[in-house]
Amino acid sequence: MPSEPICIRRAATVEEAEIILAWLDERGVMATIFDPSNPGVAAFGVTDLEGVAICVKDQGTADLASTFLREHDLERATAASSSQSNTSSEIICDECGKTVTTDPSASGSTFECPHCGAFVDAPGEGELEPS
């Protein structure tokens, strides 16, 4: 008797699941999408309202896929954190009231307002609000 598939991840949409499938396939991990709209899915009982189940056939494959997915999630979180710290900010010039956009390198410095020429202080790191 074949073993039941092991769900390694749930995707919000079939399209997202297909992207994850392709990504895993590039790494040599064979996975399958169990879509609730697929009539064969009910027999496995691995789908519900939580999303489209992405499953593998055995625990060894599940462990490998989970490792890859954790590494990928960590890379994405690190990239998102990095991009947030490199985001420009908007400051209102006290003199003319117009918005001045700054880049991260301006943090903690003083520069001229491009609209009126008044000096504008850019808040230091941690004080900037991303735009």
Would you place residue 26 in the very low, low, confident or very high pLDDT band (cuts 50, 70, 90)?
Answer: very high
Q: How far apart are CA 66 and CA 39, in angstroms?
A: 27
How confident is the model over 93-110, as a mean pLDDT?
Answer: 78
Alpha carbon 62 to its chain's center? 22
Strand-pairing partners, residue 10, are 53
- Is the pLDDT at 72 greater than 60, yes or no? yes
Q: How far apart are CA 106 and CA 84, in angstroms?
A: 15
pTM for the predicted model, two decimal places = 0.52
| pLDDT reported for residue 103 | 74
**SS3 state at 98:** coil
